[in-house]
């Protein structure tokens, strides 16, 4: 994972997610809906969401090392949705990325940590984005790409 991409992704993810609450799940694919937060409510006029295409796990606290991708079982849609529904209305207080692999960690106010596997050989493992933003010239998207890298689209001023 390129350091520059990781740094841009972390700034963008914190802008979009830090302070947000888990509001719901869309039942087409596995998409988690997040609330706006005090950092972005004035600028985002769309839906912040996390599209999950890989394994997830909830830890009671931050793991000391990144789990290996093969340690995180790919759950079926129903199992994953149940886990995410149990997290409803919990507040995200920090966001972290794996060091070598773009694993996504959402640290909750409760101390729990939502881990989303960031490794896949052929597909994007997860994407955090703003959908239906009325400011059409502003794109907010972070994606975990095949090859353990990140792609980031964000207005330049967010990275300052």
Across 24-33, 53-62, 85-94, least confident range: 24-33
Query: Is 115 within a domain?
Result: yes
Residues comprising the chain, all counted: 160
Which residue from 108, 120, 110, 160 is spatially nearest to 144, judged by alpha carbons? 120
Tens digits of residue pLDDT in 26-39: 877 788 999 988 88
The dihedrals phi and psi of 64, each to the nearest 5 degrees, come to: -70, -30
The two tokens of residue 15 are: 């802008």
| Interatomic CA distance for residues 93 and 95, integer angstroms | 7
pLDDT of residue 80: 87
Which domain covers residue 136, as residue numbers?
3-155
| Nearest by Cα to 85 from 75, 94, 95 | 75
Does the global pTM surpass 0.95? no
Q: CA-CA distance, 98 to 117, in Å (whole number)? A: 9
Q: Is residue 138 part of a domain?
A: yes
Give φ, ψ of 75 to 5 degrees: -85, 160
- The count of structural domains within the chain is 1
33: in domain: yes
* Structural domain includes residue 160: no
Position 123 in a domain = yes
Q: Is residue 142 part of a domain?
A: yes
The verdict on residue 118 lying in a domain is yes
Residue 32 lies in a domain: yes
């Amino acid at each position: 994972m390129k350091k520059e991409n990781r740094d841009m992704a972390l700034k963008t993810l914190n802008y979009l997610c830090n302070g947000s609450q888990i509001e719901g799940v869309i039942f087409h694919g596995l998409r988690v809906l997040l609330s706006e937060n005090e950092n972005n409510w004035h600028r985002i006029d769309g839906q912040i969401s996390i599209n999950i295409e890989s394994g997830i796990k909830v830890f009671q606290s931050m793991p000391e090392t990144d789990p290996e991708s093969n340690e995180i079982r790919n759950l079926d849609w129903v199992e994953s949705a149940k886990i995410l529904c149990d997290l409803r209305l919990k507040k995200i207080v920090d966001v972290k990325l794996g060091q070598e692999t773009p694993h996504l960690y959402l640290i909750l106010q409760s101390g729990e940590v939502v881990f989303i596997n960031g490794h896949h050989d052929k597909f994007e493992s997860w994407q955090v984005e703003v959908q239906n933003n009325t400011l059409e010239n502003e794109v907010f998207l972070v994606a975990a790409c095949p090859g353990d890298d990140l792609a980031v689209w964000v207005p330049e001023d967010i990275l300052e």
